Amino acid sequence: MVSVCVVVVVVVMCVSGDSGDRNTPISVPLRGLTKDLGHSEAPRTGDQEREWWADYLCHQTNFQGQEQKHIIPLQQLFRDVTPERRDRNVFLMDTACNTHPRYRAWCSVESWANQNPDLDVWFLMTSQKVSDTDGLPSLLMHKYPNLRLVGTHLAGIFKGTPVEPLYLSRKWTVSETWPPEVLSNMLRALVLWHYGGIYSDTDILSIRPFTLPLNATGFDVEAVVGSALYAFSAHHPLLWTLMEDINKEFIPGVWGIIGPAAVTRVVKKACGTNDTYTLLHKAPVSCANKSVTIYPDTHFFPVFWYGFERYFNKSTGLNFDKDFKSSYVLHMWNKLSKWTPIKMGFFSIYEAAARRSCPLTFSRATLRSNFF
C-alpha cells in the first residue's frame, strides 16, 4: 500500500505541473493578451528563473486572494516581441519592478496613446506581470489598439552595445546609485537605438500629436539639454555616442551624471561647442549636418522644476490652450511633485491636461476621490 500511495502522489504532482503550463512553451499574441486570458490565472510568459538584476530592483510581490485572478503576464521586449514599425514608437518605462503603477504613470501612458494614434506606444516594465485589479490596464489596452504593455529582456537588449560593460559590472546596482533611475537612463538610449522613436518619462503628459521630425532633443532649465524626452531614429550615431558616454562617465552616487548631463555633453560634442547658452538663444538649432535638432524649452519643458507648483495651483489651467500653444508635452517633475495632489474643480494645469489627454485614467482615478 505504501508504494501505491507514492505512485498516486507522483501522478497528482505531474498533473498539477502540466495544468499550470510551467514547462510548456507559450505563444500568446500581444494584442489579445488581456482579452484571451479573461482575468483568470494566466500562463506565464516571462523567464521563470529570477534574473540577477531582480535582486537589486525587485521586491517579491505575491498577489493575494482575488488579485491572483486579475493579473496580466508580460511578454519580454526583444526576446518575445519586437516593434513591427521602425521609428514609429513611443517608449515609456517603469524600471522599479512596480506591479501597481500609480494613476499618474497610467495618465502619461494613456496621453501618448490617445494623442498619437498613429504611433505604437510601449510601456516597458521590469516586472513580469502587472496588476489589473481595478481593470484600468485592460481597459486602456482595449480602448487604444496602439498600446503595448511588456516586460524587458535586459540581457538581450544590452548585448553588443557600449553600455553592456556597465550593465554587467553591476556597479549601477549599489543602493546609493539609484538603480532604477540608472537603468532607465541606459535603457531609454538602448530602445531607441534598436527600434527608433520617442522616449518619454512617465511624468510627462502628451498634450498634442508629436509632429516634430525625429532626431530631436529639447532645452531644459539653464541651457541643459533634457533627458526626460528625446526622439531619434534607430541606429542614430548620436545614440551610440550617448551610450559610450554613459559607460565611460558613470560614477556611483553622483545624481544625474548619465541623465541630462550625458545628453548635454553629447549634444555639445555634436554641435562643436561648449556654450549651450548660444545654442539656446538660436533654438531651434540643428547640428552635425542637421542630424540633430535642439528645440527651445517651450516645446518640451515649458515649466521648470523650481516652478512645478504652477501645474497644481488653482485656476492655472483656465488659459491652457493659449499658455501652451507651443508645447507638445508637459513635464510634471514627479520627483518633486508626487505628493502634491491634483484637486478636482481647481482648474489647474494638470487637471486640464488630464481631462483631455488621459480621460479614462482621470475617470478611474477620481471615481472615489476628488484628488489623485
Helix (H) or strand (E) holding 240: helix 237-249
User: Is-contact 10 92, C-beta < 8 A?
Assistant: no
DSSP string, 171-239: GGGSGGG-HHHHHHHHHHHHHHHHH-EEEE-TTEEE-S---S-SSEEEB-GGGPBPSSEEEE-TT-HHH
CATH of the domain at 137: 3.90.550
Output the pLDDT for position 43. Answer: 36
Specify if 19 maps to a domain: no
Domain ranges, residue 228: 27-365
Specify if 321 maps to a domain: yes
pTM: 0.86
Specify if 144 maps to a domain: yes
Give dist(CA 340, CA 311) in Å, integer: 10
Output the pLDDT for position 255. Answer: 86
Maximum pairwise Cα distance, the chain: 88
Output the pLDDT for position 80. Answer: 97
Output the pLDDT for position 157. Answer: 98
Query: For residue 200, what are the contacts with CB-CB under 8 A and spacing of at least 6?
Result: 90, 91, 92, 108, 112, 206, 228, 229, 329
Output the pLDDT for position 64. Answer: 65
Provide the 8-state DSSP code for 87: T
Specify if 16 maps to a domain: no
Output the pLDDT for position 63. Answer: 65
Residues in the chain predicted with pLDDT less than 50, given as ranges, are 1-48
Cell digits of residue 285: 538649432
Specify if 9 maps to a domain: no
Specify if 6 maps to a domain: no
Residue 64 has a CB neighbour count (10 Å cut-off) of: 7
Cell digits of residue 335: 520627483
Specify if 105 maps to a domain: yes
pLDDT digits (tens, 9 = 90+) for 307-336: 999 999 999 999 999 999 999 999 999 999
Give dist(CA 91, CA 232) in Å, integer: 12
Q: What's the structural domain count of the chain? A: 1
Output the pLDDT for position 286. Answer: 97
Specify if 18 maps to a domain: no
Angstrom distances, CA of residue 73 to CA of 4, 83, 104, 135? 38, 18, 22, 14
